[in-house]
Amino acid sequence: MSEIVSTAEPAFHTEDMTISMGPQHPSTHGVLRFVVKTDGEVMSEAIPDVGYLHRSIEKIGEKVTWHGYVPYTDRADYLAAMFTNQAFCMAAEKLASIEVARRGEFCRVIACELNRIASHLISVGTFGQDIGAITPFLHALRERETINDLMEEICGARLTYNYIRIGGVGYDITEETCRRISEFLDHFEPIVDEYNRLLSYNKIFIERLANVAPITLEDAFQYNIVGPNLRACGLKWDIRREIPYSIYPELEFDIPVGTGEKGTLGDCYDRYWVRIREMQESCKQLRQCLKMLPRGPAIAKVPRRFKPPAGEVYIRIESARGDMGFYVVSDGSEYPYRVRIRTGSFTAMSLIEKISRGLMVADLIALIASLDVDAPEIDR
């Protein structure tokens, strides 16, 4: 009997190893660092260390004029800069009770939805790449390149747009551009099916992601998970529908939610699949916008020395990474008193420490990619 007990003891001594992953690990989507404690391949915890991309965008907001701050908001999330532009402009407009030009609203939605497709393409593309499928990444980036060209045509920039201004948009969208956007949509919608055949329905891909790192709805509330990540947990919640802004109430679109069809509800595959279907919904919205685009000015008359009355406002919009909050305080002067940017990536990142316990190191990569965290948006 005593012999059996002695053989139950481990034959060799093991101990936890602490590894620093990052700050420039290729799969961390920017400059992020994780302090990973592992026993072999299994992690006991992964502690995110952020702040490498902190550029004090909130402090800069107190030093520049209202109009002058718009280009800075681009840098808060450079993969989906239209949304930060829009959120800040909406905050300024609400403070000063400015009515946005109706054509301007349409131009905003067109630009934003194009940007959402571009951002989701990066997300699903790098997702494949992170877990070892290089080819789909090239397909995704090829399409994103076309969107970048369209953006260049719309506003002259490919990444940091400074397109949406207080009162409307900087430049009107021409008919030629509209034609090219609908050409792109004709081309892109079938491409999504091609992409699905290549990656989404791929057995290896599904096996790799199904049941990995599921997030429960309770955790999602506790950690304030927003956007596609929240919808993947099964909650049908989209700011565009629930707290409508701009012209979204006039558009018809579905809200894709996770169903756990390949595994558990709220797992990595659900988060991926929600994004793919959101791109299709964005295409629908774009087509409607192009059809409904009214004539008229694209920007309302806003004084050059813009001084909104004292007050504070909290704006929520549905950015590519979910509920983006801009808390803007004005003291009636030419400069904002305080600009606070609350982003989806920041809170998603704080969840990783909890979810990562007991995961494999390779699954951590899948988890980061599926949450679509974006380092500039975390650190601001």
Residues near other proteins (CB under 8 A) are 50-51, 54, 56, 58-59, 62, 94-95, 219, 221-224, 235, 237, 242-243, 311-314, 316, 323, 325, 327, 329, 337-338, 340, 342, 346-347, 349-350, 354, 379-380
Please identify, using beta-carbon distances, which residue of 66 and 205 lies nearer to other proteins.
66
Please identify, using beta-carbon distances, which residue of 269 and 326 lies nearer to other proteins.
326
Within 8 A by CB and 6+ apart from 264, the residues are: 210, 211, 214
Cis, peptide link before residue 23, omega less than 30° from 0: yes
Question: One-letter amino acid identity for 165?
Answer: R
- SS3 labels along 84-153: HHHHHHHHHHHHHCCCCCHHHHHHHHHHHHHHHHHHHHHHHHHHHHHCCCCHHHHHHHHHHHHHHHHHHH
Minimum distance, C-beta of residue 314 to other proteins, in the bound complex (Å): 5
Please identify, using beta-carbon distances, which residue of 37 and 208 lies nearer to other proteins.
37
- The label of the residue with tokens 């790098």 reads 126
Minimum distance, C-beta of residue 371 to other proteins, in the bound complex (Å): 14
Please identify, using beta-carbon distances, which residue of 127 and 346 lies nearer to other proteins.
346
From residue 361, give the alpha-carbon distance in Å to each of 22, 72, 213, 355, 366.
Answer: 13, 36, 12, 12, 9
Show the tokens assigned to 42. 């299994």
Please state whether beta strands 164-165 and 42-49 pair in parallel, antiparallel, or not at all (unpaired): unpaired
- The Cα 64–Cα 92 span in angstroms is 14
- Cβ-based neighbour number of residue 206 at 10 Å: 17
Picking from 245, 229, 247, the residue whose alpha carbon sits closest to that of residue 237 is 229
Please identify, using beta-carbon distances, which residue of 197 and 354 lies nearer to other proteins.
354
Minimum distance, C-beta of residue 311 to other proteins, in the bound complex (Å): 6
Please identify, using beta-carbon distances, which residue of 171 and 327 lies nearer to other proteins.
327
Minimum distance, C-beta of residue 354 to other proteins, in the bound complex (Å): 8
Please identify, using beta-carbon distances, which residue of 46 and 50 lies nearer to other proteins.
50
Minimum distance, C-beta of residue 223 to other proteins, in the bound complex (Å): 5
Minimum distance, C-beta of residue 76 to other proteins, in the bound complex (Å): 13
Q: Is 85 exposed, middle or buried (0-12, 13-18, 19+ CB in 10 A)?
A: buried
Minimum distance, C-beta of residue 56 to other proteins, in the bound complex (Å): 6
Picking from 120, 169, 167, the residue whose alpha carbon sits closest to that of residue 308 is 167
Minimum distance, C-beta of residue 225 to other proteins, in the bound complex (Å): 9
Please identify, using beta-carbon distances, which residue of 143 and 323 lies nearer to other proteins.
323
